[in-house]
Structure 1
């Protein structure tokens, strides 16, 4: 039975591990050994990792792979991907190679505007509030000048601040809706600092606004926070070629393939159950690059899935068509990314990943990430509409099964040889391993 622990955060790392081992592990010595084997032997590097989060006990590793041959706007890229799911990197690389001989990926950034809001309650005359806001707006900019000075030097800063009346949705609820340009940084800390200053200025200035009654002067700030929904920070990725140029080993009839592919996308456009899985496949590629480059994949996920629902129902992020004998496949997604600040300047492997990508700007990274997501989606749909998704996936997954059962080199060779001509499934692989051992 577990027990409450007092002051866990104040324990040393060793003490934390010992408490966990004594409380949760059947074999505490073995459990401690597993945790410690993932510590980095370089103490300085381990200390750096320990300081990323609180209550650190060890490191949790993900494989970092490379998907080469991404031709994006005429320039080749090798894309680093951090992910645990088998077949994702292989699928991205296969798609990249396929499109590198058919014109490659074309990408365009439509905007890089980010959003933050001060949410507040005002129990008074809305016309008075509008008048007050027009008076105080210059001061909102003025009082944040010390925060925005460096960002402005890089071409960024606060773009605009507007007052939004949301009382039809929630009683007494208003917003300061601010837009920002943060250039190559994701800008979360910058945006949130500005918002908190807006809130302070708003509250203080209201106390001295003569047109307000005593009640109206008491503006209640609920919260000040950036939004991860960035519908004006959007990038487009697309591929296209003549229908007949789609032909390859698994595509003997390119016209039939193109038509089936377009239908598969249209199903995802109208059917939410399919759209969720369809878009999850896109995120396999996007999240892997976002994680490898030290960006916040949870923020990216939330923003993209909100964008997929912007018309009132959840739908496909990607689209396809055949027009005048040309097959086109494209996607537009919101992506708020950074290449400076945060983990990008701290995590050694993030620095390596950005080096591999030739030190991209935030706009360039947006384009690489979008192209990788589209490549992943193309790979999934190509498999689904031809051989089926499981053939390629299970060929990659077989290694996980072999590792799980601690197979020898001889057993591995026998298993792989057998399944060259037999259907792969988890149960079939396990049964064959047991057959070999018996």
Structure 2
């Protein structure tokens, strides 16, 4: 029977597990064995993982794969990808191989500005608030110097602070809207520390400002927090080639493929129902690399999807065209990433992934991640506009279905060979397993 518990966080790991299995599971012994089989046998490494978060009971594994042959700005990369979805790594690898012989991927970082805001309420005269802000702006920056000193030595820091009037949306609502450069760090802790100092200085100095009435001095700080919407932290990735060089599929001409591909992108630009799935495919590639390199994929997801809606309607992140007989496929996306801080120096596989990428700077990682997303999108659209998405996806999903039905090694070999020339739907695989077993039993 389910129950509440007091002081759970203070229990040992073993006691936490005891309470969980005894409260929620019928077979306590089997559940404990499942949890423990995912523990690392290296006690020091397991302790490291236990301390990443609170109330840890075991490790949750994802496969870490690699996609080779990515030619980016004339340099080859093998990209690490942590993901559970079948066909993602294969699709990225196929796209990399396709474009390797057509000039590869071209990328550039457009901007790296990140944003944080102090949200506050003020009920007084707007012009007086503007005067106060002009009076206090430099002190806001100066009072944050102990926080920004080291970042400034490396070339980063606070770029600007603006006072923004949001009273049309909420009565009395204003912001200190600050922009930052955080270099190779994602910078969340740095930005939040600066914002909290801004808020402290702002509130303290308001009490001493002669221009405010006693009532106006009572500024209410609501919260101080960075934004994961980073429309000015942009990277561009693209591929291009002569239309005739797209010819690879005997069932469709290069010209037909280019036209159909561009139509598919245009549909995603105007139809939100399609755009969500279209962009989800892009994020298959992006999230996998973001996760492998110890970055915050939830923040990236939120920021990217907000960017896809920036014009008032959710739309495709990628675009395609043919001009002067040249096919071009590209996207510009916001990516706030880091290669120092956080898990980058702690998680052994994150360190390995970054080393595999030749220890990139944050700007270089932005470009690699964008390429992974564009490659994934190209592979998906290529399948959709030619053979259909299921043919390739279900063949990659085949092993999951075989494992679900506990196929042995001999059965796997037989069925993998069979589905090289047959359509691999879930029902077809199930039927093939059952027929194979009936034949063996007969």
Is the alpha carbon distance of 1:251 and 1:340 closer, same or farther for their aligned partners in structure 2, counting shifts above 3 Å?
Answer: farther
Is the alpha carbon distance of 1:251 and 1:67 closer, same or farther for their aligned partners in structure 2, counting shifts above 3 Å?
Answer: farther
Match of residue 10 from structure 2: 10
5 Å matches for 1:88-237? 88-237=88-237
Aligned mates of 1:412, 1:143 — CA distance in 2: 66
Q: Which runs of 4+ in 1 moved over 3 A?
A: 249-252
5 Å matches for 1:352-367? 352-367=352-367
> Alpha-carbon deviations, 1:345-399, whole Å to 9, x = none?
1101000000000000000000000011000000000000000000110011000
Q: What displacement does 1:413 show?
A: 1.9
Q: What displacement does 1:252 show?
A: 4.3
Q: Quick check: 1:377 aligned with 2:377?
A: yes
Aligned mates of 2:142, 2:419 — CA distance in 1: 69
Match of residue 404 from structure 2: 404
> Alpha-carbon deviations, 1:174-224, whole Å to 9, x = none?
000000000000000000000000000000000000110110001000000
Q: Please give the secondary structure, in 1, of the residue aligned with 2:313.
A: coil
Aligned mates of 2:60, 2:73 — CA distance in 1: 36
> Alpha-carbon deviations, 1:111-158, whole Å to 9, x = none?
000000000000100100000001111110110000000000110000
Contact 1:237–1:330 (CA under 8 A) maintained in structure 2: yes
Aligned mates of 1:143, 1:388 — CA distance in 2: 59
Contact 2:252–2:386 (CA under 8 A) maintained in structure 1: no
Q: Please give the secondary structure, in 2, of the residue aligned with 1:80.
A: strand
Q: Please give the secondary structure, in 2, of the residue aligned with 1:207.
A: helix
Q: List runs of 5+ in structure 1 lacking aligned partners.
A: none
Match of residue 293 from structure 1: 293
Q: Please give the secondary structure, in 2, of the residue aligned with 1:394.
A: helix
Q: Quick check: 1:348 aligned with 2:348?
A: yes
Q: Quick check: 1:86 aligned with 2:86?
A: yes
5 Å matches for 1:233-272? 233-249=233-249, 252-272=252-272
Q: What displacement does 1:436 show?
A: 1.9
Aligned mates of 1:251, 1:349 — CA distance in 2: 42
Aligned mates of 2:144, 2:317 — CA distance in 1: 37
Aligned mates of 1:10, 1:225 — CA distance in 2: 29
TM-score scaled by length of structure 1: 0.99
Aligned mates of 2:260, 2:244 — CA distance in 1: 14
Match of residue 279 from structure 2: 279
Contact 1:251–1:257 (CA under 8 A) maintained in structure 2: no
Q: List runs of 5+ in structure 2 lacking aligned partners.
A: none
Q: What displacement does 1:5 show?
A: 1.2
Q: Quick check: 1:37 aligned with 2:37?
A: yes
Contact 1:240–1:327 (CA under 8 A) maintained in structure 2: yes
Q: Please give the secondary structure, in 1, of the residue aligned with 2:208.
A: coil
Aligned mates of 1:215, 1:11 — CA distance in 2: 49
Q: What displacement does 1:250 show?
A: 5.4
Q: Please give the secondary structure, in 2, of the residue aligned with 1:142.
A: helix
Contact 1:250–1:386 (CA under 8 A) maintained in structure 2: no
Is the alpha carbon distance of 1:340 and 1:251 closer, same or farther for their aligned partners in structure 2, counting shifts above 3 Å?
Answer: farther
> Alpha-carbon deviations, 1:299-318, whole Å to 9, x = none?
00000000000000000000
Aligned mates of 2:267, 2:249 — CA distance in 1: 26
Aligned mates of 2:141, 2:98 — CA distance in 1: 50
Q: Quick check: 1:24 aligned with 2:15?
A: no
Q: What displacement does 1:251 show?
A: 6.1
Q: What displacement does 1:418 show?
A: 2.3
Q: Please give the secondary structure, in 2, of the residue aligned with 1:401.
A: helix
TM-score scaled by length of structure 2: 0.98
Match of residue 52 from structure 1: 52
Is the alpha carbon distance of 1:74 and 1:251 closer, same or farther for their aligned partners in structure 2, counting shifts above 3 Å?
Answer: farther
Aligned mates of 2:300, 2:379 — CA distance in 1: 21
Q: Please give the secondary structure, in 1, of the residue aligned with 2:68.
A: strand
Aligned mates of 1:410, 1:83 — CA distance in 2: 27
